[in-house]
Structure 1
Amino acid sequence: MNANEGRVVIGGSSGFMGRRLQEKYRAEGREVTTISRSGADLSWSDHSGIDQAIDGAALIIGLAGKSVNCRYTPENRDEIFSSRLQTTAALSHAIQAAAAPPALWVNSSTATIYRHAEDRPMTESSGEIGTGFSVEVARAWEKALFADDLPHTRRVALRSTIVLGHGGVLGPLKNLARIGLGGAQHDGWWPVSRARKAAGTAHLPGAKHGRQRFSWVHIDDVTRIIDFLEQHPELDGAVNAAAPNPVDNTTFMATVRRVLGVRFGPPMPRWMLELGAIGIRTETELILKSRWVLPEKLVAAGFEFEYPTLEGAVRESFAD
């Protein structure tokens, strides 16, 4: 069997990436089996069904996990961990039991595993792992991926940056920009409770004046990266899914406004961002942490991005 052939099993198929991958593989004529809590071929409680789907499959893609776009309450923190670790363990155990295990397992991870970086970019070889709740989630997720002895299955932890595309994170920003709230997001002082410090969910002031780095990748390039991984058996371990030209937050928001034809957007101070985050039940870390990530492994292996620069990716994401 050649690379990019054979059955694909997608665990966590109902999200933004899962829907796009289903569409892609089915259009290419590949057999696709989906696993999700609902609306899929199999549920996560169907262990025998998962075992049968994985035995003889060519590619496993693990995407399952509660969205981190929520308030980091104790209940949500527990679910963020458990939804990732239990589903990853289910895939790992099924691969271990398979008579014909898949050649490749690509599992989601996150570039948030790296520290807040304003001084230099983080790569797979020189990146420094950070601290705090989000980093511990990423570390545990990758540990679960590599926990079992799977000698016949190559494993890749895909450390994804912010994924752009139709239906992704740009939707809310598009609406904000159109009503004049599309300015840079400025960090600053904000009171932090002892409980948040203890839980590792406190965002301490970092980059000033919207200079936090914004690393991103277009969803079509993520699907092409997975194809590339199938074709390049020398690639394993952590792989950064990041476009080669990250920007800062000020440039990112200016690009969004320019593409939309919005001339002005005042900067958004930390206090306003915090109140807004409470209102929509999310966390400011998602926009204030400086993520400066480069795709060292992919570039060295010869991968070419369809969307290497931000404006092209934003324009495609906003196209009708």
Structure 2
Amino acid sequence: MKILLTGATGLVGSALVTLLAPEHELMIVSRDPSRARQQLGHEHQYLASLDQLHNLNEVDAVINLAGEPIVAKRWSEAQKQKICHSRWDITEKLSSLIAASSTPPHTFLSASAVGYYGRQSSNPIDEQGVPHDEFSHQICKVWEEKALAVADKTRVCIFRIGIVLAAHGGALAKMLPAFKLGLGGPISDGQQGMSWIHLQDLLRLLNFLLTHAECRGIYNATAPNPVSNAIFTKALAHALHRPACLPAPAFALKVALGEMAELLTEGQFVLPKHAQSDGFEFRFTDINDAMDDLFNR
């Protein structure tokens, strides 16, 4: 299968390249093809821009992971626009290329995030849940609409990613220094939901969506058992053999991070109902097992 891949140099993308490379031909879009080639290998085709393409007639599938990291910088209005358009513009361009194809790719997998739901109460929410309208929802809503615009031309699967757990990189990389020093702890009251997924399960889910022609629509890419922030931090501390007793007050995060602090102090308990109903089986369903796998194998 010839697969066009965006966002290949990130945590999920680079791991996905390793998974797919033995069996598929990869066309990787990167703003810095030279750096991407050094990171991902010389055997793939690299493009500096989608503007080099007029259609996707020769491509079998598209996997779209591109986007400015949402926690890279404080949310100024300029940074908000960068977060949005880094997702919207490339997704719109991919959809335009699919629409312009006489023999379009049979599959379009496009990323989104559980931020689509916005802040929720303690009640679990699945793909049919009603979102809370805030910045994270607005990003994801438009992002998804731009991919779904070509659902009449190709099979579209949107995967809303939760907190990806990996031993190196991602959310845990930002948490590990404090926890390894015994300075970690819950955020605010620790009751906000944290919808997580082990990196290996996320990769398996993407491969499942890629290879199962009956799959289409919206999928929550999260483990079946979301947990509170207090339980999450306890599991991480336990896996690292460290205490987790120093809470981060909400007001201090607000001062330090501004509006971005809401990503940490608010949350949701997201369930992967669609993936499970389509027959996907998670290997890591318990947060303690996932943390132990990452840090105590």
TM-score, length basis structure 1 = 0.83
Q: Which amino acid aligns with 2:23?
A: G
Q: Deviation at 1:97?
A: 1.8
Any gaps of 5 or more consecutive residues in structure 2? 37-45
The alpha-carbon distance between structure 1 residues 15 and 294, as it changes in their structure 2 partners (threshold 3 A), is same
Partner of 2:130: 128
Q: Deviation at 1:276?
A: 4.3
Partner of 2:8: 13
Cα pair 1:129 1:135 within 8 Å, conserved: yes
Distance 1:10 1:318 in 2: 29
Q: 1:48 aligns with which of 32, 52, 64?
A: 52
Deviations 1:142-163 (A, max 9, x none): 1111224x53410011111111
1:30-179 correspondence runs (5 A)? 30-39=24-33, 40=36, 41-44=46-49, 46-49=50-53, 51=54, 54-69=56-71, 70-125=73-128, 127-148=129-150, 150-165=151-166, 166-179=168-181
Q: Deviation at 1:246?
A: 0.7
Distance 2:292 2:165 in 1: 10
Deviations 1:65-121 (A, max 9, x none): 111102110111111111111100111111112232111101011111113222411
Distance 2:153 2:138 in 1: 28
Where 2:47 maps in the other structure, the secondary structure is coil
Where 1:293 maps in the other structure, the secondary structure is coil
Q: Deviation at 1:12?
A: 1.9
Distance 1:316 1:105 in 2: 31
Where 2:80 maps in the other structure, the secondary structure is helix
Where 1:151 maps in the other structure, the secondary structure is coil
Any gaps of 5 or more consecutive residues in structure 1? 1-5, 187-208
Partner of 2:288: 311
Runs of 4+ in 1 over 4 A off after TM superposition: none
Distance 1:315 1:264 in 2: 16
Distance 1:155 1:283 in 2: 30
The alpha-carbon distance between structure 1 residues 215 and 264, as it changes in their structure 2 partners (threshold 3 A), is closer
Cα pair 2:118 2:136 within 8 Å, conserved: no
Cα pair 2:98 2:153 within 8 Å, conserved: no
Q: Which amino acid aligns with 2:237?
A: R
Distance 1:135 1:151 in 2: 24
1:274-313 correspondence runs (5 A)? 274-277=254-257, 283-313=260-290
Where 2:103 maps in the other structure, the secondary structure is coil
Distance 2:185 2:243 in 1: 10
Q: Deviation at 1:319?
A: 5.2
Aligned residues: 284
Partner of 1:216: 196
Cα pair 1:122 1:292 within 8 Å, conserved: yes
Q: Which amino acid aligns with 1:154?
A: R
Distance 1:75 1:176 in 2: 30
Segment of structure 1 superposing worse, 295-304 or 230-239? 230-239
Q: Which amino acid aligns with 2:48?
A: S
Partner of 1:228: 208
Distance 2:234 2:24 in 1: 40
Q: Which amino acid aligns with 1:29?
A: E
Deviations 1:179-198 (A, max 9, x none): 23211101xxxxxxxxxxxx
The alpha-carbon distance between structure 1 residues 276 and 179, as it changes in their structure 2 partners (threshold 3 A), is farther
Partner of 2:43: none
Cα pair 1:115 1:128 within 8 Å, conserved: no
Q: 2:19 aligns with which of 24, 32, 49?
A: 24
Cα pair 2:186 2:244 within 8 Å, conserved: no
Segment of structure 1 superposing worse, 209-218 or 260-269? 260-269
Q: Which amino acid aligns with 1:42?
A: L
TM-score, length basis structure 2 = 0.89
Distance 1:319 1:71 in 2: 34
Distance 1:124 1:132 in 2: 18
Distance 2:92 2:142 in 1: 11
Segment of structure 1 superposing worse, 84-93 or 263-272? 263-272
Where 1:283 maps in the other structure, the secondary structure is helix
